[in-house]
């Protein structure tokens, strides 16, 4: 016979009897709900929080739009930029979130997207796309990203670099010598080892993709 289970049942019956004889307010004070204690808030979910117990101070985000676009293609997701921003600034104070991208001035859909970004927490930095000899178009904003990271280094404590471009490793290393914490967020297969080596923290986009992707569209 299991005396432990019997004792537990007797105790539960005694508590139930006492509850029925006292006001509701006293019930909550004397017998706090165990169900309420175990309900997880968003801050408690370790699978969502990626910056547990880290004092990140003031944060500046430098997001390489082209790099993230191709990373999202490889992951098979569409990025929700509101979710991404919320995740990257958790447990911190945002200085500014920069979004760097090449633009086609005749592309109305892209212009609409950039307007949305400006109105939803991002400072958008653009450069006109240049057509290459092979017919493709490209705009390299590495210089702009590096200059902004170094110029603003005295105004933030943590830099979040959303890019895997190894050309940014020197700038990342330079600001780390000024006391800035460097966090790199990118897809591992598209990330230079030289960039990971100078980072204080590396986060693979694949590990957080479920928290930053747009919800799949469902027809009514």
Domains, the chain, with CATH or none? 3-38 (no CATH), 58-212 (3.40.50.1010)
Please determine, for residue 6, whether its predicted confidence score (pLDDT) is greater than 90. Answer: no
Give me the mean pLDDT over the 193-206 stretch.
96
- 101 forms bridges with which residues in the sheet? 126
Find how far residue 157's CA is from the centre of its chain: 17
H/E element, 27: helix 24-30
Q: What is the mean pLDDT of residues 47-76?
A: 87
More reliable by pLDDT, 50 or 80: 80
The number of angstroms, rounded, from the C-alpha of 100 to the middle of its chain's C-alpha atoms is: 17
Q: Is the pLDDT of residue 27 over 80?
A: no
| Spatial CB neighbours of 93, under 8 Å, sequence gap ≥ 6 | 57, 58, 59
For the CA atoms of 163, 167, 168, 171, the dihedral, rounded to the nearest 10 degrees, stands at 180
pLDDT band at 37 (very low <50, low <70, confident <90, very high): very low
Closest to 164 measured CA to CA, from 143, 195, 141, 138:
195
Q: What tokens were used for 22?
A: 């006292």
* Cα dihedral 27, 28, 32, 35 in deg (nearest 10): 110
- Ranges of beta strands (E only) in 114-210 are 123-128, 130-131, 137-138, 158-162, 181-186, 201-204
The span from the CA of 83 to the CA of 194, in Å, is 28
pTM as predicted: 0.75
In whole angstroms, give the CA distance from residue 46 to residue 52: 8
Binned at pLDDT 50, 70 and 90, residue 78 comes out as very high
Is the pLDDT assigned to residue 61 strictly greater than 80?
Answer: yes
- Mean pLDDT over all residues of the chain? 82
- Is 188 a residue whose pLDDT tops 60? yes
Residue 41 clears pLDDT 90, i.e. is over it: no
């Amino acid at each position: 016979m299991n005396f432990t289970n019997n004792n537990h049942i007797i105790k539960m019956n005694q508590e139930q009897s006492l509850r029925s004889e006292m006001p509701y307010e006293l019930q909550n004070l004397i017998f706090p709900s165990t169900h309420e204690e175990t309900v997880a808030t968003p801050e408690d979910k370790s699978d969502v929080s990626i910056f547990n117990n880290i004092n990140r101070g003031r944060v500046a985000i430098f997001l390489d739009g082209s790099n993230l676009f191709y990373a999202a293609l490889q992951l098979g997701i569409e990025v929700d930029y509101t979710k991404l921003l919320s995740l990257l600034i958790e447990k911190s104070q945002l200085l500014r979130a920069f979004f760097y991208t090449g633009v086609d001035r005749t592309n109305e859909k892209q212009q609409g997207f950039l307007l949305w970004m400006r109105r939803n927490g991002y400072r958008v930095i653009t450069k006109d796309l240049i057509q290459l000899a092979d017919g493709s178009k490209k705009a390299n904003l590495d210089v702009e990203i590096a200059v902004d990271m170094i110029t603003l280094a005295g105004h933030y404590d943590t830099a979040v670099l959303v890019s895997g471009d190894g050309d940014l490793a020197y700038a990342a290393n330079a600001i780390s010598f000024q006391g800035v914490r460097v966090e790199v967020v990118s897809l591992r297969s598209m990330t230079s080892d030289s960039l990971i080596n100078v980072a204080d923290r590396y986060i693979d986009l694949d590990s957080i993709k479920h928290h930053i992707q747009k919800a799949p569209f469902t027809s009514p």
